[in-house]
Amino acid sequence: MNEGLLGIGDFARHTRLSIKALRHYDDHGLLAPAHVDPVTRYRYYSPDQRARATLIGDLRRIDVPLAVVARILDASPGDALTVYQDWWSGQERRHADRRGIGRYVIARLRREGQPPMDIHTRTVPARKLAVISKELFQPELEEFIMSAFSTLFEWAERHPGLRALDTTPEEPTYVIFHGPVSPDASAVVEVCVVIDGPAEPEGDIVLRREDEHAEAYVPATKAGIEYPAILAAYDAVAAWVSEHGEMIASMPSREVYVADVLAAAAEDVVCEIAFPYRPSR
């Protein structure tokens, strides 16, 4: 019955994997033994399984998640390469973000002062917003924001008079974060455009009203909304608000866009990092 098969110990030595790892991959459906003895429950593997086993091991050595490993193993050779390259590209983007945040953390630990930021305040009138929202993780963020803005402006174009079809200080667009968004933590993110006039919700678009409120904000250039510069802006405004009032739980911090980011130069002001707040009396 077991002729030509390798016991789990021999197979582990052939594949540079531990017995514990082989059992783990079996438990997760990635590498089932060719035969399991019905009496002893001892696992046996075919020599033909070595390539699959070593591939799993190599992928896990670079921390490819088990779910992604499963997709790679189940795909055709061409598709498997695409799955892996997509994952790897995401890791490189994440590492670039972490590198920037790391520099910011080092500067703070060294107590290197950030350039002073001029915090502005304003009273934002009551506004009607068209909103698309979704709970998501950081890797999904950019694609969702771009897609949502595209959908909102296409909707506005089909309903003339609701707003201008560009982003200006008078008719801004928002991205509102209802919690931290990271590769490991999801939160609801709202993409909003200010509208004026009667309208009906459509598809993923919902309509809501924000009450008049005070807002503290700092302008940011196109370069300034990249990591880690944008973190310094958030920290500066949050610190100012804590000294001059209190945040409004029902109105989270937001990025208020006042210009077309894609068309702007690096030094152009495109956004305001803003915190609605209640001023101290």
> Residue 115 pLDDT more than 70?
no
Out of 3.40.50.1220, 3.20.80.10, 3.40.50.970, 3.10.180.10, select the CATH number for domain 120-279. 3.20.80.10
Residue 198, pLDDT above cutoff 90: no
- Tell me the average pLDDT of the chain: 89
Interval 143-157 mean pLDDT: 94
Domain 6-74 falls under CATH 1.10.1660.10: yes
% of the chain surpassing 70 pLDDT: 94
Distance CA 2, CA 175 (A): 61
Is pLDDT of 98 > 60? yes
Residue range 182-193: mean pLDDT, rounded: 87
pLDDT of residue 223: 87
**Alpha helix locations (H) across the chain?**
8-15, 19-27, 50-61, 66-74, 77-109, 138-158, 229-244
CA gap 137, 34 in Å, rounded = 38
How high is the pLDDT of residue 113? Answer: 56
| pTM for the predicted model, two decimal places | 0.65
Q: Give the pLDDT score at 130.
A: 96
* Separation of alpha carbons 98 and 92, rounded Å: 10
Q: Is the pLDDT of residue 104 over 90?
A: no
Q: Tell which residue, 114, 276, 150, 279, has the closest CA to residue 211.
A: 276
Assigned token pair, 270: 């495109």
The pLDDT, as a whole number, for residue 118 is 87
pLDDT one-digit tens code per residue, 25-44: 999 999 999 999 889 999 99
Return all residues near 159 (Cβ < 8 A) that are at least 6 apart. 199
Say what the pLDDT of residue 229 is. 72
Output the pLDDT for position 197.
84
Burial (CB count <10 Å: 0-12, 13-18, 19+), residue 173: buried
- Start-end ranges of CATH 1.10.1660.10 in the chain? 6-74
Cα distance between residue 87 and residue 106, in whole Å:
28
Residue 78 confidence (pLDDT) above 60: yes
Provide CATH 3.20.80.10 ranges for the chain: 120-279
Mean pLDDT of 233-251: 91
Q: What pLDDT does residue 69 have?
A: 94
Is the pLDDT reported for residue 93 higher than 90?
no
